[in-house]
Amino acid sequence: MKLVYIVLDGAADGFAEGREKSLALAEKPGIDSLAENSVCGLVYTVGKGIAPESDVAVMSLLGYDPEKYYTGRGPLEALGAGIRFSSGQLALRANYATVDPATLRIIDRRAGRSVTTREARLLAEAIDGMELDGGRARALFRATIGHRGVLVIKHSDMPLSADITNTDPAYERVGRISHARSSFEPYIQKAKPLTDTPNAKKAAELVNEFTMKAIEILDKHPVNEERRQRGLLPANAVLLRDAGDKLPEAEPFQEKYGVDLASIVEMVVERGIALALGLADVPLGLDPQLVDKPTLLQREVELAVKALEEHDGVYVHLKGPDEPGHDGDLEGKVKAIEEIDKYFVRPLLDRIDRDNVLFIVTSDHATPWYMKSHSDDPVPLMFSHPRLGEGRRSFSEESCKNGSLGLLEKGSLIVPTALEYKRRLEG
């Protein structure tokens, strides 16, 4: 029996009373048909009280407890972007942002979500190779998708420590994990060492030096002058978070769980996680920023069908609903879920043998549209197969909260639980 593991990025909206929920509003006959033959429940993707970022949530959803395996988002971004990363270097997730250079007040954390691939790469070229600490350190910067990027800093004299705070005020560092803040002061923060060591102090100094030099270079860049002329926000700063100084040391997924799982993902960090955990990476073969959503989803169907022919299962991470959630756009979030159903789920169901496939469907976190950020709510979860069934009419928070799966305390329990259902069905 094959596995199809679908993660709807940020699709959940939590449990606030009086607030409409995207999953409940969306017309999604494909997903809801899976719910009719399923067992359902809820899951805290990382743990109760944690509003997780996607990276730590995905690691947990794939069966790896972040408390044991997670080493920071930065190295995963670097790995997914094809950067050769070594222990003792410092890697951080980056966002192009719009700031007031005089006060460091953040006007938009994502530069209006309008940075094109061409613009991002030209801006990256201007700050890539920047010398820091009098030439003893060097910054490697890569644009990835849209406003996103990754920074790697190498020092010639000493290893760098990831025990530093974020400059992005929207996320607070708690150990190795960043928690989304429900509110924050909109100013670039100075990186500070979290431990009293020369390695952490130097890392914080280098991050702060890079931040100020990047603003000076980017604010006057021709790309941003052109953006201003077109009435767009300039991408004149880089916000940094989730430092890491080593890659996870994790047993490959196939050795840990006995399943050869392929991975189809849209974002760089999720590709880095797949590579770090030994999943079979299936490249999209196109830039998600340069094609419309239906075309992207149709491509993912083709790749998923082929992956199921060659592997024991496929993990598919679909980005759509998260961005409108961050933008407070309920209508856009509903549309994104409906597009996933129309262009991915239903076509996939038409092309597979349902009797030979166990579906896992969940979300990596809630991104309530009324909060415009990730929340610590549990998210709906279902395992679907024609011989499973609680008669659920839809897949949503309300329909899953009283399901027989109950409330799973952490996402790392999903894979072992699903494999137990798989063994029962095969038996």
29-57 tens-digit pLDDT: 999 999 999 999 999 999 999 999 889 99
Residues 326 and 376 in one domain: yes
Residues 175 and 236 in one domain: yes
Domain range for 31 is 2-70+250-426
Selection from 170, 186, 187 nearest residue 178 by Cα = 170
Residues 289 and 234 in one domain: no
83-94 tens-digit pLDDT: 999 999 999 999
- Measured between alpha carbons, how far apart are the two ends of the chain, in Å? 11
Could you say which of 209, 244, 279 is where a domain stops? Answer: 244
Selection from 26, 168, 34, 192 nearest residue 99 by Cα = 168
Specify which residues 151 forms β-bridges with: 92, 141
DSSP-assigned states of every residue in 332-389: HHHHHHHHHIIIIIHHHHHTS-GGGEEEEEE-SSB--TTTTS-B---EEEEEE-TT--
Residues 320 and 351 in one domain: yes
pLDDT (0 to 100) of residue 390: 81
Residues 40 and 156 in one domain: no
- Predicted confidence (pLDDT) at residue 329 exceeds the cutoff of 90: yes
Could you say which of 192, 221, 244 is where a domain stops? Answer: 244
Residues 51 and 134 in one domain: no
Residues 100 and 34 in one domain: no
How many folded domains does the chain comprise?
2
Do the Cβ atoms of 211 and 167 come closer than 8 Å? yes
Residues 259 and 360 in one domain: yes
Could you say which of 179, 212, 244 is where a domain stops? Answer: 244
147-193 tens-digit pLDDT: 999 999 999 999 999 999 999 999 998 888 788 887 899 999 999 99
pLDDT (0 to 100) of residue 40: 96
* CATH number of the domain encompassing residue 308: 3.40.720.10
Residues 86 and 54 in one domain: no
Residues 287 and 154 in one domain: no
Mean pLDDT estimate for the chain: 96
Q: What is the pTM of this model?
A: 0.89
341-390 tens-digit pLDDT: 999 999 999 999 999 999 999 999 999 999 999 999 999 999 999 999 88
- Predicted confidence (pLDDT) at residue 231 exceeds the cutoff of 90: yes
Residues 90 and 191 in one domain: yes
At 10, the pLDDT band (50, 70, 90 cuts) reads: very high
pLDDT (0 to 100) of residue 176: 80
Residues 174 and 300 in one domain: no
